[in-house]
Amino acid sequence: MPVNNSYELKRFVDSAVREVRVTDIHTHLYSAQFDDMLLWGIDDLLTYHYLVAEFFRYTSMPYEDFWALAKQEQADLIWQTLFIQASPVSEATRGVITVLKGLGLDPGARDLEAYRTYFSGLRTEDYIKTVFEVARIKDVVMTNDPFDDEECLKWQRGIQADMGFHSALRLDVLLNDWQLARIKLGKKGYLTSEILDEQTIAEVKRFLLYWVDKMNPIYMAVSLASDFAYPDDSIRTYLLEECILPVCRQLNMPLALMIGTKRSVNPDLRLAGDSLGKSDISALENLCSSYPNNKFMVTMLAREDQHELCVTARKFKNLMVFGSWWFLNNPSLIEEITRMRMELLGLSFIPQHSDARVLDQLIYKWGHSRQIIASVLYDKYKDLLDAGWRFTEEEIIRDVKYLFGGSFWEFTRKAL
């Protein structure tokens, strides 16, 4: 159907973006087989680390007193502080309201006990289906850590492939804490030395291939501090060059780099204590140009790095930009970043991932992002319409499908 005017355009774009089934390329969710590793429900929503950080801005409660409380008591305090004693205008608090509304609960009632009652009657498998339906999710990619003992145990016992949940092999310990990685590798029977000699290279590769076989990941991933440099004289550079990049090439598997963290600037906040810093894009340029046959999926945490990242993606077809990560996952910044990416990269990027840690968050993270991406898309099509370009509703649907999953799957499968 041809798009004749801006009213039709708005209707077509809104409906295509509202209806499209999303592939969420980076989450911290797990399928039901991982039991209580999958978080869901009102108490997990309220104790999300984004909200914990906000809670401590209002309270004088000592950190250790808060951490000594049971989860439900922490949730009570956060609810009282961030929702009742002040209005929940931050993106993370607003998210909880959007979730309640999406589930058909009444946020206006402010009835925490009623919300708890609703969740207490649910079965995990059914609730996953409900959330995927409400948030219109096709599938999600988990974060799977082969250095996490609890998680490894689950994989060893056997995890069945689940169409809705894909895995990603997370390599933070290996690349960011070689001492710890060596201890853990040793316990699993892999023989390594301090330096990357022949045997250590072979053993690390054996370890990677073992977990690739077990998890069947779509990509490997690592988060990197804002001072990430490549190449340098660190063990990380050698691990990348000798182990990870060769294995990724062999498997035609992307490596996701999440660059710009400053971990634990306030350890008292635990998971909420991480921050961010500006990074040097030349590390990424060096990787992309030195390894044209490796595929890199990259997100950067500092707002200041977004423009350089976009320009770098114009230079290297083996670089796929993704998501408005973590502190960037706020409407004003998603809007700015999506607009800039579209202007510089057309549709050849992955506009968003949810980073959901709690299943229910898919509802708000995707709900909010869809609205923004739709409004940016509308503006871009409107400019085309005004300039005399003619296009159809089917073409809009094609583009939207590409943005919400197509570009990701195409990149993971393409051979360079």
Does 145 bind Zn ion (CB under 5 A)? Our answer is: no
Cα-flanking dihedrals φ and ψ of residue 295, to 5°?
A: -105, 130
What is the spatial distance between Cα 228 and Cα 226, in angstroms, rounded to a whole number? 5
One of 355, 359, 403, 412 touching Zn ion (CB under 5 A)? 355
The residue ranges that bind ligand FIX (CB under 6 A) are 223, 258, 271, 326, 355, 357
Q: Which is nearer to ligand FIX, 357 or 368 (CB)?
A: 357
What is the spatial distance between Cα 217 and Cα 254, in angstroms, rounded to a whole number? 10
CB of 52 to ligand FIX, least distance (A): 11
CB of 355 to Zn ion, least distance (A): 4
Distance of CA 2 to the CA centre of its chain: 35
Q: Which residue has the tokens 């509202």?
A: 18
Q: Which is nearer to ligand FIX, 284 or 342 (CB)?
A: 284
Element (H, E) at 69: none
What is the spatial distance between Cα 86 and Cα 100, in angstroms, rounded to a whole number? 18
Q: What is the 3-state secondary structure (H, E, C) of 140-153?
A: EECCECCCCHHHHH
209: partner contacted, choices ligand FIX, Zn ion, none (Cβ within 5-8 A by kind): none
Stretch that binds Zn ion, among 7-15, 31-39, 194-202, 348-356 (CB under 5 A): 348-356
Judge whether 49 and 377 are in contact, CB under 8 Å. Answer: no
Q: Which is nearer to ligand FIX, 217 or 396 (CB)?
A: 217
CB of 239 to Zn ion, least distance (A): 21
CB of 244 to ligand FIX, least distance (A): 17
What is the spatial distance between Cα 345 and Cα 232, in angstroms, rounded to a whole number? 30
Q: Which is nearer to ligand FIX, 258 or 373 (CB)?
A: 258
Q: Which is nearer to ligand FIX, 9 or 131 (CB)?
A: 131
CB of 256 to Zn ion, least distance (A): 10
DSSP 3-state assignment of 199? helix
CB of 105 to Zn ion, least distance (A): 27
Stretch that binds Zn ion, among 3-11, 120-128, 351-359, 400-408 (CB under 5 A): 351-359
Cα-flanking dihedrals φ and ψ of residue 24, to 5°?
A: -95, 110
DSSP code at position 266 = S
Residues near Zn ion (CB under 5 A) are 355
